[in-house]
Amino acid sequence: MTDFDRVIPRRGTGALKWDGAAARFGEEVLPMWVADMDFAAPEAVQAVLAERVAHPIYGYPWGGTAALAAGANWMERRHGWRPDPAHMLLVSGVVPGLFAAVRAFTETGDGIIVMPPIYPPFLSAVREQGRELLMAPLQRDRNGRYEMDWERLEALLPRARMLLLCSPHNPSGRVWGRAELQHLGELARRQGVLVVSDEIHADLAYAEYPHTPFPSLFPDSLLLSSAGKSFNIAGIGGAFAVLADDRQRHRYAAELRRSQIHEINLFAPIAMAAAWERGGAWQEGLRTYLAANAHHLGQRLAAELPALGYRVPEFGYLAWLDLRALGLDDGAIAQRLRHAGLGLNPGPDFGPAGAGFVRLNFGAPRIVLDEGIDRLCRACG
């Protein structure tokens, strides 16, 4: 069994989260920002990588297709839906895949719907490629639970060519239910809007919130995912797309080739296949550990910072914290966090709906999380 309580120092390993924190926050901070975790990857992944590194020639790789078949089998075991491996494409990463989808299926000036607060590249994929950003902000209830804004979606869909769905949704913490996805898909289909579903966090859905792959309901949608988040191998890179329609898939594949993002590095297929074939037990242990961290964070915040808004997320390791009751602007929040030595993602990075919020990454040993909460209390006290 993996010991998720083990603290593994990462400073000096070239880690963005740790070594890049001082440049990002202007101080040495405890980094609880960018979405990777402070846990060792599954032993099966470490072992195949060590074996490959021991061979001293690092030429062009082969084996991506076999890795995709392992991915399809994994999806079936984990989510009860098996994409046809013939419908899968390799992509260098999920974000490059999102950007490419915008280029492949829309033209300059076309409307694309996103639902903020949202993982920032969803916004830049639209804005920086000259498409019109159509925002349908999620609605937040008194308990901090986010819902889609159906009225707004219905109003925007006739003006849109594409909808970028984050499922599960970073940073709101929601795992969209089957009925919500069904409704969304029907609305989109009625208007001929292509849904691009980024499901990179899906494997980390907690037990009470089963994830539904969007193309299992609507096969004409585009799914993007990877093993990066859920097996903590994000730095290795590599992702995959699923697109069942032959014509659409050829069009997308052509865009991937044109942008030269249709290949992955030598270590990616090896790591992905090992994760999907032999990382299942590790990931189950991880989900249990993360869910316990999520609840622990909730208990401490309720006791020590009751003014803060926090709803235990439904997946993964990202907490979306509502600091608006402190009555501070985002600059003042950032300054207080910096003085307390804590590095969190500022809410406004996730779009205008993020003002007054921060995102905290609790994918770390409990003792590190507790230090982070201590610092958060100092910042907010």
**200 or 253: CB nearest ligand PLP:** 200
**106 or 172: CB nearest ligand PLP:** 172
Spatial neighbors of 109 by CB under 8 A, at least 6 apart, are: 130, 131, 132
* Residue 149 one-letter amino acid: D
**94 or 134: CB nearest ligand PLP:** 94
The CA distance from 133 to 318, in Å, is 25
The CA distance from 100 to 121, in Å, is 12
Under DSSP, is residue 194 helix (H, G, I), strand (E, B) or coil? Answer: strand
**95 or 376: CB nearest ligand PLP:** 95
Shortest approach of ligand PLP to residue 344 CB, angstroms? Answer: 14
Shortest approach of ligand PLP to residue 36 CB, angstroms? Answer: 8
Sites of contact with ligand PLP (CB under 6 A): 35, 93-95, 119, 166, 170, 198, 200, 226, 228, 234, 239
Shortest approach of ligand PLP to residue 247 CB, angstroms? Answer: 26
Q: Which residue is nearest to ligand PLP (CB)?
A: 93
Shortest approach of ligand PLP to residue 35 CB, angstroms? Answer: 4
SS (H, E, C) 309-372: ECCCCCECCEEEEECHHHCCCHHHHHHHHHHHCEECEEHHHHCHHHCCEEEEECCCCHHHHHHH
Shortest approach of ligand PLP to residue 166 CB, angstroms? Answer: 5
Bridge partners (DSSP) of residue 41 are none
Beta-sheet pairing, 357-361 with 318-322: antiparallel
The CA distance from 30 to 339, in Å, is 11
The CA distance from 212 to 215, in Å, is 9
**36 or 380: CB nearest ligand PLP:** 36
Shortest approach of ligand PLP to residue 329 CB, angstroms? Answer: 26
**228 or 309: CB nearest ligand PLP:** 228
